[in-house]
């Protein structure tokens, strides 16, 4: 919509420290139709802060049939740009996405510019803003370092001084992007860069924001699991199931295990693209020397050394035939409680790797399917939420069961193994029930709440009722789902900053999503599946510095 501005604040100068650039960049990404970024250096710590917004912007463009135009230019100057970040950038997907690397060849390359445009195809409106300053893409530079950045906004008419200056910035970016030294980024280039890269030591860099010094190491539960996995392979087992509670680091465990096995070709299978994206970024952090790509509806990167595949695509016979049964020596099947479905079975029955690892937080299935047998009855390691809390990997929580006195569940029709959705909406989206929920929420809530609803309509209703009820207290809620106007990452940022207190959602945050800022989980739906219940309940367990209060409205 044209009235949604790219600009978050009036002041043209951002100084860092208490005035970070990151919120302004995320806001602009969330509302731009064109993005042009040119920075000297990119570190994983900074890119990780921007990627969720970028992914969502790309998805949004596909949904609205107007692809996001995204151009990113970085450099190999001083070998500071990290290969891990480059692996993530090279896998950005979209017909309007281009990433290039400027080969400095002993010349300085010190650009730090972020350009955003918002318009429609008919050009009935046009907004533009450009940030030019000292901020590279690292966590420190975008958050707490003292970095000055000046913003220039496009202003009508087209021949105004502001408009001409804005267009001049874009023209200069375009010249650099098409410079003879700017080459398209690909895996071959990254492979060669890794071999010749000699980054300066952190102690020799005056500006500590230029380099990441984070090392990735397993937590206590992962160390135990890694030892158990080694032991089971020594016993001759070629398959095994690991059960770890939500938030304990299953994906990281699989990446650590693939590394300790020195796996050459890795396949990671899941049923949702968000999980595949998170997994690719995790594996790339530990194995930046390996190429990584996707195999799903939009992409078929068959040649990649680490392949992240959707079960819906790979599970079809015509796609399985693209690989020999022993093509991958290490296979991970995430959310293994789904593995008895036909598409999963096609994959499990076709491939013959050195080792196959099944991962799940919730091994029990409502249909009583025996998923352990699919791993040759080999339960390698199991740690539940209680173990995670005792090990201080997960936060302790209080659970409150609230009597749902406004709903008679016996009157709601039961069809196809679940409550009738329309009847649930009618019973749940009422002022009486909302008042009852808010009373108990107000007594036991902390500061950041994620609430699960039965439908989009129910989520919208609850957010509206909440804002009406607590308006005088300055409390605010948002409804977040696939059709909501607010972006998912934008809503989480507002929640984290305390600008809103509650997010009402349906299933956007079920699987593969760690939300460390959440300290209250509100269950406003009947959940027939223990799996979904535990996944939703565990969304906020990953931060051990807070106490989670979980409220459940039930009969």
Q: What is the 3-state secondary structure (H, E, C) of 33-101?
A: CEEEEEECCECHHHHHHHHHHHHHHHHHHHHCCCCCEEEEEEECHHHCCCHHHHHHHHCCCCCCEEEEE
- Residues 6+ positions from 487 with CB-CB distance below 8 Å: 30, 53, 56, 60
pLDDT computed for residue 204 by the predictor: 44
> pTM here?
0.79
Crossing angle of helices 83-90 and 44-63, in 10° steps, is 0
* Tokens 């955003």 belong to residue: 116
- Residues 6+ positions from 215 with CB-CB distance below 8 Å: none
Architecture of domain 13-196: 2-Layer Sandwich (3.30)
Residue 365 has pLDDT above 60, yes or no: no
Least Cα distance to 7 among 110, 177, 151 occurs for 151
Q: What is the 3-state secondary structure (H, E, C) of 349-399?
A: HHCCCCEEEEEECCCCCCCCCCCHHHHCCCEEEEECHHHHHHCCCCCCEEE
Please check whether the two domains, 13-196 and 220-391, share a CATH topology. Answer: no
> Do the beta carbons of residue 336 and residue 364 sit within 8 Å?
no
Instruction: Compute the distance between CA of residue 298 and CA of residue 296 in angstroms, rounded to an integer.
Output: 6
The arithmetic mean of pLDDT across residues 397-410, rounded, is: 80
The arithmetic mean of pLDDT across residues 60-82, rounded, is: 92
Q: Is 267 helix (H, G, I), strand (E, B) or coil?
A: strand
Instruction: Compute the distance between CA of residue 147 and CA of residue 229 in angstroms, rounded to an integer.
Output: 46
Residue 208 has pLDDT above 80, yes or no: no
Two tokens, residue 340: 């008895």
User: What confidence category does residue 200 fall into, taking pLDDT thresholds of 50, 70 and 90?
Assistant: confident
For residues 487 and 471, the model is more confident at 471
pLDDT in tens, 1-33: 445 789 988 999 999 999 999 999 999 999 999
CA 526 to chain CA centroid, Å, is 27
pLDDT computed for residue 31 by the predictor: 92
Instruction: Compute the distance between CA of residue 41 and CA of residue 26 in angstroms, rounded to an integer.
Output: 19
> Do the beta carbons of residue 480 and residue 505 sit within 8 Å?
yes
Least Cα distance to 314 among 264, 372, 270, 254 occurs for 270
pLDDT in tens, 245-280: 878 899 999 999 999 999 999 999 998 888 899 899
Two tokens, residue 458: 């129910």
For residues 298 and 440, the model is more confident at 440
Instruction: Compute the distance between CA of residue 286 and CA of residue 263 in angstroms, rounded to an integer.
Output: 12
**Which letter, b or e, does each residue of 344-360 get, where b requires 16 or more Cβ atoms within 10 Å of its Cβ?**
bebbbeebebebbbbbb
For residues 386 and 499, the model is more confident at 499
pLDDT computed for residue 555 by the predictor: 43
Rounded to 5°, angle at Cα 56 from 52 and 61: 150
340 to 105, 318, 333, 529: CA distances (angstroms):
54, 20, 12, 16
Pairing of strands 182-184, 97-102: antiparallel
164: left (phi over 0), alpha (psi -120 to 50) or beta: alpha
> Do the beta carbons of residue 371 and residue 239 sit within 8 Å?
no
- The topology (CATH level 3) of 220-391 is Rossmann fold (3.40.50)
> Do the beta carbons of residue 156 and residue 163 sit within 8 Å?
yes
* The most confident of 195-204, 319-328, 500-509, 535-544, by mean pLDDT: 319-328
**Which letter, b or e, does each residue of 319-342 get, where b requires 16 or more Cβ atoms within 10 Å of its Cβ?**
beeebeeeebbbbbbbbbbbbbee
Q: In the chain, where are the structural domains located? A: 13-196, 220-391, 397-550
For residue 150, what are the β-bridge partners?
A: 13, 132
pLDDT computed for residue 488 by the predictor: 82
The arithmetic mean of pLDDT across residues 489-513, rounded, is: 79
- Residues 6+ positions from 403 with CB-CB distance below 8 Å: 554, 555
Where does 397-550 sit in CATH, by number?
Answer: 3.40.50.300
Least Cα distance to 199 among 112, 42, 107, 82 occurs for 82
Least Cα distance to 542 among 389, 440, 323, 350 occurs for 389
């Amino acid at each position: 919509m044209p009235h949604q501005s790219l600009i978050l604040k009036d002041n043209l100068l951002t100084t860092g420290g208490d005035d970070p650039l990151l919120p302004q960049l995320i806001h602009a990404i969330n509302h731009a139709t064109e993005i042009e970024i040119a920075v000297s250096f990119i570190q994983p710590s900074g890119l990780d802060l921007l990627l969720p917004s970028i992914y969502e912007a790309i998805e949004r463009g596909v949904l609205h049939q107007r692809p996001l135009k995204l151009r990113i230019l970085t450099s190999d100057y001083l070998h500071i740009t990290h290969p891990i970040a480059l692996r993530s950038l090279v896998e950005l997907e979209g017909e309007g996405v281009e990433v290039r690397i400027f080969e400095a060849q002993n010349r300085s390359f010190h650009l730090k510019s972020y350009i955003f445009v918002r318009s429609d195809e008919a050009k009935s409106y046009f907004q533009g803003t450009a940030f030019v300053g000292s901020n590279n893409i690292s966590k420190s530079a975008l958050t707490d370092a003292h970095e000055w950045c000046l913003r220039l906004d496009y202003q009508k008419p087209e021949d105004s001084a502001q408009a001409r200056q804005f267009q001049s910035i874009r023209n200069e970016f375009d010249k650099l992007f098409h410079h003879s030294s700017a080459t398209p980024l690909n895996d071959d280039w990254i492979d060669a860069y890794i071999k010749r890269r000699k980054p300066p030591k952190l102690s020799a860099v005056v500006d500590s924001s230029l380099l990441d010094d984070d090392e990735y190491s397993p937590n206590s539960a992962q160390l135990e699991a890694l030892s158990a996995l080694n032991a089971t392979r020594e016993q001759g087992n070629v398959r095994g199931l690991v059960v770890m509670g939500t938030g304990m680091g299953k994906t990281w465990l699989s990446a650590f295990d693939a590394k300790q096995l020195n796996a050459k070709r890795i396949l990671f299978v899941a049923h949702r693209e968000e999980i595949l994206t998170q997994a690719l970024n995790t594996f790339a952090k530990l194995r930046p020397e390996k190429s990584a790509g996707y195999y799903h509806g939009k992409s078929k990167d068959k040649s990649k050394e680490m392949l992240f595949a959707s079960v819906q695509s790979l599970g079809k016979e015509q796609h399985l035939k693209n690989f020999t049964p022993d093509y991958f020596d290490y296979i991970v099947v995430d959310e293994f409680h789904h593995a008895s479905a036909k598409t999963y079975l096609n994959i499990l029955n076709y491939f013959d790797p050195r080792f196959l690892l099944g991962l799940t937080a919730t091994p029990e299935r409502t249909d009583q399917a025996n998923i352990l047998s699919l791993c040759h009855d080999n339960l390698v390691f199991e740690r539940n939420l209680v173990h995670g809390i005792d090990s201080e990997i997960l936060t302790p929580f209080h659970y409150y069961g609230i009597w749902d006195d406004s709903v008679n569940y016996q009157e709601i029709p039961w069809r196809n193994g679940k409550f009738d959705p329309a009847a649930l909406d009618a019973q749940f989206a009422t002022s009486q029930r909302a008042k009852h929920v808010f009373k108990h929420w107000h007594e036991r809530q902390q500061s950041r709440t994620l609430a699960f609803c039965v439908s989009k309509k129910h989520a919208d209703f609850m957010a509206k009722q909440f804002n009406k009820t607590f308006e005088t207290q300055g409390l605010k809620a948002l409804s977040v789902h696939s059709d909501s106007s607010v972006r998912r990452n934008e809503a989480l940022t507002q929640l984290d900053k305390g600008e809103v207190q509650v997010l009402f959602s349906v299933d956007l945050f079920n699987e593969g999503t760690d939300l460390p800022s959440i300290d209250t989980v509100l269950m406003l739906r009947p959940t027939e599946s223990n799996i979904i219940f535990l996944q939703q309940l565990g969304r906020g367990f990953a931060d051990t510095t807070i106490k989670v209060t979980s409220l459940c409205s039930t009969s």
